[in-house]
Amino acid sequence: MKKILFLLMLAGLAFSCSKDFTDLNTDKKKPSAVPPGGLFANAQKSLVDVMTTPNVNTNIFRLLSQNWAQCTYIDESNYDLTTRNIPQNFWNTMYLNVLKSLDESKLLIPTEFQVPAVYANQEACIEILNVYAYSTLVNTFGDIPYSEALDSRNLVPKYDDAATIYNDLATRLDAALNSIDESQGGFGSSDLFYGGDMAGWKTFGNSLKLRMGLMLADVDAAKAKTMVEAAAPGVISSNSENVVLHYLDAPPNTNPVWVDLVQSGRKDFVAANTIVDFMNGLNDPRVPLYFSTDASGAAYVGGPYGSNNNFATFSKPADAIQAPSFEALLLDYSEVEFLLAEAAARGMNVGGTAAEHYEAAIRASIEYWGGATADADAYLAKPEVAYATAAGAWNQKIGNQKWIALFNRGFEGWTEWRRLDFPILNVPDGLTYADIPVRYTYPVQEQNLNTTNYNAAATAVGGDKVSTKLFWDKN
* pLDDT number for residue 420: 98
Strands 68-70 and 144-145: unpaired
Q: Helix or strand or coil: residue 189?
A: helix
> H helices then E strands: how many in the chain?
19, 6
pLDDT at 475: 78
DSSP one-letter code for 184: S
CA distance 97 to 94: 6
For the chain, percent of residues with pLDDT exceeding 70: 92
Mean pLDDT of 315-327: 98
The residue-averaged pLDDT of 219-247 equals 98
Between CA 452 and CA 431 the distance in angstroms is: 32
List pLDDT tens digits, range 407-435: 999 999 999 999 999 999 999 999 999 99
* Domains of the chain, residue spans: 36-239+441-461
d(C-alpha 368, C-alpha 327), whole Å? 12
Average pLDDT, integer, range 290-318: 98
Q: Is the pLDDT of residue 382 over 60?
A: yes
The answer to whether the CB of 317 falls within 8 A of the CB of 292 is yes
* pLDDT value at residue 474: 87
Nearest to 224 by CA among 242, 208, 212, 236: 212
Longest CA–CA span in the chain (Å) reads: 108
Residue at 122: amino acid letter: Q
Predicted confidence (pLDDT) at residue 27 exceeds the cutoff of 90? no
| Residue 34: predicted pLDDT | 76
Whole-prediction pTM: 0.93
Arithmetic mean of pLDDT over the chain: 94
Phi-psi region of 66 (alpha: psi -120 to 50; beta: other; left: phi over 0): left
Lowest mean pLDDT of 32-46, 205-219, 271-285, name the range: 32-46
| C-alpha R_g of the chain | 25
Residue 5 burial class via C-beta count within 10 angstroms: exposed 0-12, middle 13-18, buried 19 and up: exposed
- Measured distance CA(88)–CA(58) in Å, rounded: 8
| 3-class DSSP state of 188 | helix
Distance CA 321, CA 158 (A): 40
CA 228 to mean position of chain CA atoms: 21
**How far apart, in whole angstroms, are the C-alpha atoms of residue 141 and residue 86?**
12
Reply yes or no on whether the pLDDT at 8 is more than 60: no
Assigned CATH topology for domain 36-239+441-461: 1.25.40
Of the listed ranges 4-8, 60-64, 177-181, 284-288, the one predicted with least confidence? 4-8
DSSP 8-state assignment for residue 147: T
Write the DSSP symbol of residue 461: H
Give yes or no for residue 10 having a pLDDT over 60.
Answer: no
Q: How far apart are CA 179 and CA 186, in angstroms?
A: 12
Whole-number Å distance between alpha carbons of 383 and 91: 43
Average of pLDDT values for 195-200? 98
**Residue 271, H or E segment:** strand 269-271
Residue burial 313-327, b: 16+ Cβ < 10 Å; e: rest: ebbbbbeebbbbebe
Other C-beta atoms lying within 10 Å of the C-beta of residue 148? 13
